Amino acid sequence: MRTLLDCRSGGPGLVRRELDMQARSRFDGTAGSAGELWFVIAGTGTLECGSDHRRELTQDRGLWIPPGSDYLVQADDESDLRVDIVMLPEETDTTAQAADPAPVSDAPLATDLEDCDVETTGDRKFRVLFGPARGCSTATQFVGEIPPGRAPDHSHPYDELVLILDGAGIAHIGGAEHALTPGTCLHLPPGLRHCLENNGSAMLRVLGVFHPADSPAAKLDGHA
């Protein structure tokens, strides 16, 4: 387990970690006090969590891990396993919690990307795995596809972590440019103007988690 980005800076914030396991290995841990959103990047395995709950781990599967849950991960015999893990910050908006309460069960929830509806914003497509009314009231997890080209700079009302899954491009952030390749991580605070440009010929595929929960299409300045 290694930490890729820690946005707490002395207060609440998202933390992104990556779990890399060799075939036939095991790993145990405890979820953060506000819960965690997982995404299986590669490989297969099993998750045992809470009171004898078991979930299969397969590529492109998202999972909501309830707060404080003890878990055990087992990688399959023939497959290394790589899982993206985002620890959520403590929720301070009690109104949001009351409007769409988080799961009270100690069972982890699982959602396969292929079963999620395709939504669009401009020429970009995304699928939401978890979010309001989708098993997690406090944060949103989604996978987006960015075709070749560049959209206008824009900003969001939420705090976001982005992980590049496939493709190549350039992140335009605050007047600076940063190369994007698989495994690149970005932190986009609320209000920070940015643009992810796909400068290749293949689709740029990204995994995003943001807090508080909202739509990936939400913008502060109205740009698509």
The domain that holds 56 is classified in CATH as: 2.60.120.10
pLDDT for 224 equals 38
Residue 192 domain flag? yes
Query: Are both 83 and 122 inside the same structural domain?
Result: no
| pLDDT, average across residues 160-170 | 96
Contact 7, 161 (CB under 8 A): yes
Which structural domain range is residue 135 located in?
A: 116-211
Query: Are both 55 and 120 inside the same structural domain?
Result: no
Q: What is the pLDDT of residues 182-198, one digit of tens each?
A: 999 999 999 999 999 99
Query: Are both 127 and 169 inside the same structural domain?
Result: yes
Whether 12 has a pLDDT exceeding 70, the answer reads: yes
pLDDT for 98 equals 39
pLDDT for 91 equals 67
Query: Are both 74 and 9 inside the same structural domain?
Result: yes
Query: What is the rounded CA–CA span in Å between residue 79 and residue 21?
Result: 9
Helix, strand or coil, per DSSP, at residue 220: coil
DSSP code string of 138-192: S-EEEEEEE-SB-PPPB--SSEEEEEEEE--EEEEETTEEEEE-TT-EEEE-TT-
Q: What is the pLDDT of residues 201-216, one digit of tens each?
A: 999 999 999 999 888 8
Query: Are both 77 and 143 inside the same structural domain?
Result: no
| pLDDT, average across residues 119-144 | 93
pLDDT for 221 equals 57
pLDDT for 215 equals 85
Helix, strand or coil, per DSSP, at residue 125: strand
Query: Are both 61 and 125 inside the same structural domain?
Result: no
Q: What is the pLDDT of residues 80-112, one digit of tens each?
A: 999 999 999 986 654 344 344 444 456 889 999
| pLDDT, average across residues 18-31 | 97
CB atoms within 10 A of CB 85: 22
% the chain with pLDDT above 90? 75
Whether 223 has a pLDDT exceeding 80, the answer reads: no
pTM for the structure as a whole: 0.91
* End position of a domain, from candidates 90, 107, 138: 90
pLDDT for 217 equals 79
CA proximity to 123, closest of 97, 102, 153, 144: 144
| pLDDT, average across residues 70-86 | 97
Whether 37 has a pLDDT exceeding 60, the answer reads: yes
Average of per-residue pLDDT values in the chain: 90
